[in-house]
Amino acid sequence: MEKQPNDDNRISGYGQGAVDSVISVEEVVRQTQAIAQDITTEQLDGLVDGDPYVVLENLTAGYGKMEILHDLTLKVGRKQSLCLIGPNGAGKSTILHAIFGFNNIFKGRVLIGEGDDKRDVTRLSPNEKLSQAGIAYILQDKSIFPGMTVEENLWMGGFLKDQPAQAKRAAEQVFDKYPRLAARRRHNAGVLSGGERRLLEISRALVMDPELLLVDEPSIGLEPRFIDMVFEILHDLQHGEGKTIIMVEQNAKKGLEFADIGYVLVSGQLAIAGKGDELLANPSVGDLFLGG
């Protein structure tokens, strides 16, 4: 029997939020599997600008003994952006966790660097990823310390630096870049607006000057004007500062408009891969993830 949508599994949060045709997560999974393609390594290589900078090579990973990602390959070039979309529970966040070292990798490798500088970082801890491999993970829910000031929160972003003074210098660079935060530097982070808090979360990761930003759902919980602000900031980080970005975004339209490369994930496997604008123009992707 067809499962009826209910409050627990409706997908009204997807796309533009037009909810006249709500379908269940199970149904989205089924329909995504139906449009899944056989994706070759050559195809993934073709989406990369130059030599791949980040490679997940046949990664099988999960939590405890549970396997969530199955033989997953991902490639992105330096200074490119890649957006992961797909139904709830597909394993999008798990990919970011696997890159950063938050979960168990059973098989496969995570490589970072270009050409001869490629380095296997599969077994590094999150702290090592941040301090040695230039990888930052942004936006774990409630990661801001509300009782600390904005500048103290930024300094915390530099906790792995050898000298506290280095973290403070890096924080000053963030304040130079974002006057909006500078104006609030001695305020408690708990009084910031949603958009300012998101800016603080992103800029705290910048204190370590990472090359690769892993960004999980940057638009979640934000008012539309702040969503645009966050995507502008990410755009500047990619195109102005040359950061490489891998993001998960439930607002698939925003995410695919932003990203050079889009992957649709379902049940821990790649279903479709293409340029961001190709996925935006793909009618099946549109029906399922872009609000019709």
Ligand X SMILES: Nc1ncnc2c1ncn2[C@@H]1O[C@H](COP(=O)(O)OP(=O)(O)O)[C@@H](O)[C@H]1O
List the single partner that 197 binds among ligand X, Mg ion, none, CB under 5 to 8 Å by kind.
none
Minimum Å gap between C-beta 85 and ligand X is 9
Measured between alpha carbons, how far is 168 from 149 in angstroms, rounded to an integer? 13
Minimum Å gap between C-beta 267 and Mg ion is 14
DSSP for 108-175?
A: EEEEESSGGG-EE-TT--HHHHHHHS-EEEE--TT-S-TTSBHHHHHHHTTTTSSSHHHHHHHHHHHH
Measured from the CB atom, the residue of 86 and 274 that comes closer to ligand X is 86
Q: Restricting to residues 244-273, which ones interact with ligand X according to CB under 6 A?
A: 248
Our finding on whether 93 is near Mg ion (CB under 5 A) is yes
List the single partner that 90 binds among ligand X, Mg ion, none, CB under 5 to 8 Å by kind.
ligand X
Minimum Å gap between C-beta 94 and ligand X is 3
List the single partner that 24 binds among Mg ion, ligand X, none, CB under 5 to 8 Å by kind.
none
Decide: 188 and 148 in contact? Cβ < 8 Å: yes
Our finding on whether 9 is near ligand X (CB under 6 A) is no
How many residues belong to the chain?
Answer: 292
Q: Restricting to residues 33-62, which ones interact with Mg ion according to CB under 5 A?
A: none
Our finding on whether 204 is near ligand X (CB under 6 A) is no
Minimum Å gap between C-beta 66 and ligand X is 6
Using DSSP, state whether 10 is helix, strand or coil: strand
Measured between alpha carbons, how far is 87 from 264 in angstroms, rounded to an integer? 9
DSSP E strand stretches across the chain: 52-63, 66-77, 81-85, 104-112, 119-120, 135-138, 212-216, 244-248, 261-266, 269-275
Measured between alpha carbons, how far is 4 from 196 in angstroms, rounded to an integer? 39
Cα of 93 vs its chain's centroid, Å: 8
List the single partner that 153 binds among Mg ion, ligand X, none, CB under 5 to 8 Å by kind.
none
List the single partner that 126 binds among ligand X, Mg ion, none, CB under 5 to 8 Å by kind.
none
Measured from the CB atom, the residue of 86 and 210 that comes closer to ligand X is 86
Our finding on whether 214 is near ligand X (CB under 6 A) is no
Half-sphere exposure of 215 (CA within 13 A, CB side): 36
Our finding on whether 203 is near Mg ion (CB under 5 A) is no
Of the candidates 94, 238, 244, 251, which one interacts with ligand X according to CB under 6 A? 94
- What's the angle, vertex CA 181, arms to CA 180 and CA 182, rounded to 5? 95
Our finding on whether 215 is near ligand X (CB under 6 A) is no
Number of residues near Mg ion (by CB under 5 A): 1
Measured between alpha carbons, how far is 121 from 265 in angstroms, rounded to an integer? 23
List the single partner that 89 binds among Mg ion, ligand X, none, CB under 5 to 8 Å by kind.
ligand X
Residue entry with tokens 């915390």: 156
Which span (85-93, 140-148, 159-167, 205-213) binds ligand X, by CB under 6 A? 85-93
Our finding on whether 68 is near ligand X (CB under 6 A) is yes
Measured between alpha carbons, how far is 193 from 250 in angstroms, rounded to an integer? 21
List the single partner that 68 binds among ligand X, Mg ion, none, CB under 5 to 8 Å by kind.
ligand X
Measured between alpha carbons, how far is 125 from 265 in angstroms, rounded to an integer? 25
Indicate the DSSP class of residue 159: T
What residues line the site for ligand X (CB under 6 A)? Answer: 63, 68, 86, 88-94, 248
What residues line the site for Mg ion (CB under 5 A)? Answer: 93
